């Protein structure tokens, strides 16, 4: 099973949306047995809280119910997740620093910015943080997340499809 962790600062706006959108796309593709996801924040300001009310309202407008409770990214996540997807450069750096402390490597080919998967060419690497913004930015975050998560899912399927088709190896049996 592939495990993907979406990461933003407080884990109440962007990363819960990415988690919800991605989970929905994975289920629609019939891949829930092959791919799981979660989200976390690099800060501990909102531990245990539901996503921001405006985030949940926007998600509901798109048929998603977000029930995730905010949690902080930990060193244990490095062992539990295969891919880390940051919403912005600040959080990417926090993931890389945590990874460096654990492995001695700053970057890996499993740590990404979500917008690396944006099919709409943009010079903006970050998903905007809507926390201090109006409803239009929450919708923008949803739309960015939807198109990027579609591409991320395609990437993961292409990376792992041969493993899934081959089934368990002798080492895994």
Answer yes or no: 37 catalytic: no
37, 65, 75, 125 from 97: Cα distances, Å: 21, 32, 10, 19
Answer yes or no: 14 catalytic: yes
Please pick, among 54, 71, 82, 129, the residue that the annotation labels catalytic: 129
Q: For the purposes of burial, counting CB atoms within 10 Å of the CB of 107, is it exposed (0-12), middle (13-18) or buried (19 or more)?
A: exposed
Answer yes or no: 53 catalytic: no
Question: Smallest Cα–Cα separation from 14: which of 110, 143, 108?
Answer: 143
Question: Smallest Cα–Cα separation from 41: which of 67, 66, 77?
Answer: 77
Q: What's the farthest any 2 CA atoms get from each other in the chain? A: 54
Contact by Cβ (8 Å): 85, 5: yes
Please pick, among 13, 14, 23, 56, the residue that the annotation labels catalytic: 14
Q: Active-site positions?
A: 8, 14, 129
């Amino acid at each position: 099973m592939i495990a993907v962790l979406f990461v933003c600062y407080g884990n109440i706006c962007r990363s819960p949306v990415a988690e919800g959108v991605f989970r929905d796309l994975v289920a629609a593709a019939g891949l829930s047995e092959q791919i799981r996801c979660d989200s976390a924040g690099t800060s501990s300001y909102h531990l245990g809280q539901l996503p921001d009310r405006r985030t949940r309202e926007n998600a509901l407008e798109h048929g998603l119910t977000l029930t995730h409770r905010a949690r902080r990214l930990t060193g244990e996540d490095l062992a539990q997740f295969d891919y880390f997807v940051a919403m912005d450069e600040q959080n990417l750096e926090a993931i890389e620093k945590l990874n460096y402390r654990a492995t001695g490597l700053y970057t890996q080919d499993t740590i990404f910015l979500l917008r690396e998967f944006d099919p709409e060419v943009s010079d903006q690497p970050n998903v905007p943080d809507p926390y201090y913004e109006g409803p239009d930015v929450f919708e923008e975050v949803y739309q960015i997340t939807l198109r990027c998560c579609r591409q991320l899912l395609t990437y993961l399927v292409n990376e792992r499809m041969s493993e899934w088709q081959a089934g368990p190896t002798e080492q895994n049996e």
